[in-house]
Amino acid sequence: MENYTTNNQVRTNLLPVIPLRGKVAFPHTSVSFEVGREMTLKAVQRASDSADKQVLICTQKVTEKDVIDENDLYLVGCVAQIKQVVRVAGNNVMRVVCEGLYRAKAREIVVRDGHFAAVCDEILPVFGDETLQEAYFRTAKALVKDVLSTDGKISKETANRLELCQDPDEYVHVALSAMRVKLEIKQQILEEPDVIQRLGMFERCLNDELEISKIEKKIASTVRQNIDKSQKEYFLREQLRAIHTELGDDGKEEDEYREKIKAKCLPAKLEEKCLKEVDRMRKMQSSSPEYTVITGYLDQVLSLPWTEETKDNLSLDECQAVLEEDHYGLEKIKERILEYLAVLKLTGSMKAPILCFVGPPGVGKTSIARSIARALGRKFVRMSLGGVKDEAEIRGHRRTYIGAMPGRIIYGMKNAGTINPVFLLDEIDKITSDMHGDPSAALLEALDPEQNSTFRDRYLETPYDLSKVLFITTANTLDTIPAPLRDRMEIITLSGYTLEEKTEIAARYLAPKQIKENGLTDKNITFTQDGIQRIVEGYTREAGVRSLERSVGTVCRKAAVAIASGKRKTKLKITATEAEKLLGAPRFVIDQAALLPQVGAVNGLAWTAVGGTVLTVETVTAKGKGEVKLTGSLGDVMKESALTALGYLRSHADAYKIDEDELSKKDLHVHVPEGATPKDGPSAGITLATAILSVLTDTQVRGDIAMTGEITLRGKVLPIGGLKEKALAARRAGIKTVIIPYANKKDLEELTEEVKKDLTFIPVQTIDEVFAVALIAKAQDEPKKKRMVKAMPLSRETGETRDSVRCRK
């Protein structure tokens, strides 16, 4: 090797560097290791070819790292002389034996000739107070003797060498090379030049090792005691078993469980596991808590259906007849169930679909699921998810917890008793999450046809097959259902009922049901068509039929009072007049005044989780500084729609004869009534624009018209959702004309003929078309408006121009 300088006995050399993993090389000791990395092999070869055969051995910072660079090595290491190099047979690996010479610090580690190399300076020991040093040295020797007495893994040769050693540096090096000390601590002691500091660090290390050795001995002693105790318990249990045998108690309960397990036709792995649990029961007393846990687990497993299933009714006609008998309408759901049944009949087997019924309350989502089970001939299970916020409700608790139980899905399967029930997950949009986990995430596996064949409940600790279960979920809105869960379900939307549908439902189902529940018969009471219609129109305003059923129930109860008290001797006929007598004044009456033309008031249409509704947007101006105020619990999107509408009108102020100077001196206030109810969404854009233009130009808006659509800054009208619900709401409110985006024209096909007959739909593409229809032009503006109307497309597909429609009206 190259020898650069020798200054005051400090040796400086350029040496090859060998990275050492998991060890620290010390002077005065021998170290052996295997090398196999290409750079290390070259460094060994380089040193072996030199005269002094010296290398710098530096410890690798991260032991597990295979590919390293200069920064992965400690700079302080040990200069050693290679004593032996042996190639391991069959491998490109060498075993190297080195003798440590002295400590050295590399100035910089570089790559040279394909291996690591460094110019290193010898680290000379720094001596301090001799008395203090001797005190530390003697203390260290005493501690080493204690360690040797507790740890028998140090060789006698090393122990004898330590006994004879008088040099503190050599003593520390020999002791550390033989002891089990953390790599980082060994490296720190190697790097410390001050002898007293090194002895202090060494003493702290010895104290730690001494404590660890004592704890190890204590643990070993405890383990031996436990083994002796277990042997004693086994002997006593065998004696106890012999006593039980003499008394006639010979484990009949365990034998009964074993017979039940073999007769249940369980999966092979589960059967093996249950039999092992039975064997564990034999080895413990029946009063043991663990005994109770095992019996509870076996009871749960044996009560579950594993192969039991009901035979499906594959007759399409019978299935359709049952669905028609139980529910009026709901054609999409009935069609989907018949499709599933037809495929099942043709293929013999198929994965059950995951259906999600979305619609307002009271439209029959839950009851149609029960009817589906009856039509298919399957068992029905209902599980309400409203308010569920703990993941363990779905997946269960582990048996390690006291009072652990399976999740509600497994519990539902237990109640069903078959592996192919109709399983209703009600109100899936009402799931919440908290610190205990997210239940919707736990449902991902159960509601995925590709995964639910191996659904794992934490209590069962074994896969359970849910692939034959027909899962049906219900929700009022999709907004609160997480996207991954929503993606696994087939969405079927249920809209609100029309007046005619409600009347038919009340006559077919609700009235007979309430008559029976209130102890009446057809001989006591009967409902006429106009009587039911009066109840629907005057006492309910909802998308579903729950309020309608309550109103019919009220009529039946009042009739029951009259009949039971003897005041009524003849059959009660519920006509429109009789319904008003029993229910009082109608609660809902079409406000004819609201249908009259007004300035700054426009009827908008909104969709909510409970159906469609009509919202009147009110706008006024007052003296001010041109500020805009928006009230009525409006969301951010709706506020932005109002500002977009105002921005469009300001940019076209001249076209609409808006005085911008006057506008800067007035404050504009936009309000949407029912301020306690939050409102949001972009579909009120054209409504807001019409209301603002009406108040700024003092122009009246037709009161018998309602509108929905999003507006852009360029005046385009964009499509919206929930058109059917909005149309039904307009019809209930007495609206005659509805303005909709032209892109929603295709959605008119979903509406019934009754709705289309009562409402005129006007598709529009621009906001100018909206203004032309909704605003009542002043005398001087009439010719201009007629020209605008004539140029617009017609909403109905009759081929007539809008002028002809207006003339026909």
Closest CA to 691 of 671, 675, 677: 671
Question: Contact 320/376 with Cβ under 8 angstroms?
Answer: no
- Which two structure tokens, joined as six digits, stand for 344? 């099942």
* Cβ-based burial of 473 (10 A; exposed 0-12, middle 13-18, buried ≥19): buried
Q: Which amino acid, 732?
A: R
- Which two structure tokens, joined as six digits, stand for 128? 């301090």
Write out the DSSP string of 538-568.
HH--SSSSHHHHHHHHHHHHHHHHHHHTTS-
Question: Contact 637/682 with Cβ under 8 angstroms?
Answer: yes
- Tell me how far apart the alpha carbons of residues 147 and 230 are, in angstroms, rounded to a whole number: 32
**Looking at 186, 666, 679, 726, which residue is catalytic?**
726
Range 239-266 burial, b when 16+ CB lie within 10 A, else e = eeeeeeeeeeeeeeebeebbebbeebeb
Please state, as a whole number, how many other Cβ atoms lie within 10 Å of the Cβ of residue 77. Answer: 31
Question: Contact 427/413 with Cβ under 8 angstroms?
Answer: no
Closest CA to 23 of 199, 181, 191, 201: 181
- Tell me how far apart the alpha carbons of residues 473 and 372 are, in angstroms, rounded to a whole number: 13
Is 683 among the catalytic positions? yes
Write out the DSSP string of 618-652.
EEEEEESSS-EEEESSB-HHHHHHHHHHHHHHHHT
Is 726 among the catalytic positions? yes
- Which two structure tokens, joined as six digits, stand for 7? 């200054």
**Looking at 371, 495, 683, 694, which residue is catalytic?**
683
- Tell me how far apart the alpha carbons of residues 766 and 716 are, in angstroms, rounded to a whole number: 5
* Cβ-based burial of 572 (10 A; exposed 0-12, middle 13-18, buried ≥19): buried
- Tell me how far apart the alpha carbons of residues 769 and 779 are, in angstroms, rounded to a whole number: 19
Question: Contact 761/680 with Cβ under 8 angstroms?
Answer: no
CA distance readout (Å), 746 to 52, 742, 751, 761: 93, 9, 10, 12
What residues are annotated to the active site? 683, 726
